[in-house]
Amino acid sequence: MLLLKDVRLLQFLPPEVRDGMDVLIDGNRIVKVGRNLAPVSAPERTIDLAGNLVSPGIVCSHNHFYSALARGILADIKPATDFVSILQNLWWRLDRAIDEEILYYSGLIGAIEAVRAGTTAVIDHHASPGFIGGSLQTLRKAFEEVGLRGILCYEVTDRNGGSQMRQGIDENIRFAQSAKGGLLEAAIGAHAAFTLGEEALSLLSEALRATGSGLHIHAAEDSYDSAASHHLYQMDLMQRLESRNLLDAKTICAHGVHLTAADIGKLNEHDCFLVHNARSNMNNGVGYAEKMGAVRNVALGTDGIGSDMFEEMKFAYFKHRDAGGPLWPANFLAFLHNGTRLLERYFPGSFQRIEAGSVADLVIYDYRNPTPLVGENIGGHMAFGFSAGSVKTVIINGSIVYEDRRFPFDLDPIYEKANRAAKALWKRMDEIS
Ligand SMILES: [Zn+2]
């Protein structure tokens, strides 16, 4: 058992702050929350937090750990003038250059940096066409070594031919059938509708039925995705996915920048999630997701730009204000909170609140509020105050994985090997035309 003494509980939805609380954890669950709980005796542990803030776990709802070693990339990359060229010149060369070792260090660095930023779960969307079979197990190893929770999938696509498309389907099914229990769950991954033909959609639909998982796909990130659906299939994007029974309450659509009102109607009708990735959209210049407020379930993701959800929420909010939108920090706090609702569609147990019975995924902060911090202004403190630097300790599935800003393992050799793997990756990219 683990007893957290004297904490200020921070709940995101409905927003609430409660002082002087104790939280008792047994196994992977919170078993009691209250004032002046009886101390636990050794070897059980009591941590006196002297009024530190504690929130439920933070979720990054769309990420690509395979891109963790792309930071500051020095490779011969042709300039791109549009979104599809960015994919062709950079990302589709990078993912083809990934081997098992490069993927392992990408995953390890991704997981370490996520936890350090207070992110307790990452929903990853993976591609490595040169290493498909076993890739999700390699990622699983990286997540488990750091103690990070995740939902993994392999990105199925027709862009490298039918054989690789089918290998991607097999990797998703194999992982989904082995993933049950513990820190990792499985989704069924697909790149984007514009790189998926009719056979691929049928196989994805069968994979959903066979595993009970949900589809994780990029949707209308660029206007090209919607235009291709109209041009090649005479259907709206979501209509095409719906016609293959690919939409349900476990569906995770990333971006949705160019969804039509009819598309959004379908997302809401099937209770799907839309993940907004503000920094990635800005970086790729794909446009702004102005209609986001009309989507019932919006969560936030980074699309491969690290896993710092404080930074991501700030960018999402400031970009929205810059675009003249009607939403306020409390709305973006609710979007961040929605990541815990999305987790509940994949994992047993509840993640939304710090209360008896919830899964013990918790973030402890040493954020000092220079102005009053109450339920009504948590969003304001998040948009203008909190940062990843406020994160002190992280508990995932009842285990302390990061304490007083330290991991229980040595980071130096990992970062050294990651640098070596990054150099190998960049070199291999130059060898791939
Ligand atoms: Zn993405």
128 CA to middle of ligand 1, Å? Answer: 14
What is the per-residue pLDDT across 95-143, written as a single tens digit (0 to 9) for each?
Answer: 889 999 999 999 999 999 999 999 999 999 999 999 999 999 999 999 9
Residue 27 lies in a domain: yes
Res 433: pLDDT: 63
395 is written with which tokens? 């508990």
Centroid of ligand 1 to alpha carbon of 148 (angstroms): 19
Q: How far apart are CA 242 and CA 314, in angstroms?
A: 33
In-domain check, residue 416: no
Mean pLDDT by groups of 10 residues along the chain of 433 residues: 96 96 96 92 88 98 96 83 81 88 97 98 96 97 98 96 96 91 95 93 98 96 85 90 96 94 96 97 91 95 97 97 95 98 97 98 97 97 97 98 98 98 91 76
Give the number of domains in the chain: 2
**Which of 179, 173, 177, 178 minimizes the C-alpha distance to 154?**
173
Side-chain half-sphere CA neighbours of 35 within 13 A: 3
CA 276 – ligand 1 centroid, Å? 10
Q: Where do we find the tokens 């293959």?
A: 244
Helix or strand (DSSP H, E) at 56 = strand 53-56
The number of beta carbons lying within 10 Å of the beta carbon of residue 322 is 10
Q: Calculate how far, in angstroms, residue 192's C-alpha sits from the geometric centre of ligand 1.
A: 9
Taking the model in full, what pTM does it have?
A: 0.96
Question: Could you report the per-residue pLDDT of 385-400, keeping only the tens digit for each?
Answer: 999 999 999 999 999 9
At position 134, the amino acid (one-letter code) is G
| Domain limits for position 239 | 58-344
Q: CA–CA separation, 198 vs 271, rounded Å?
A: 24
Phi, psi (degrees; rounded to nearest 5) at 30: -80, 125
Residues 185 and 46 in one domain: no
254 CA from centroid of ligand 1 (Å): 6
> Are 293 and 367 contained in the same domain?
no
Q: What is the mean pLDDT of the chain?
A: 94
Are 21 and 99 within one domain? no
Nearest 5°: the CA angle 188, 194, 195 is 60
Ligand 1 midpoint to CA 104 (Å): 19
Question: How many A from CA of 304 to the centre of ligand 1?
Answer: 7
Rounded distance from Cα 246 to ligand 1 centre (Å): 18
Q: Using alpha carbons only, what angle is made at residue 121 by residues 119 and 127, rounded to the nearest 5 degrees?
A: 110
CATH of residue 308's domain is: 3.20.20.140
Q: Looking at the structure, do residues 286 and 220 belong to the same domain, yes or no?
A: yes
Count CA atoms closer than 13 A to 42's CA, side-chain side: 0
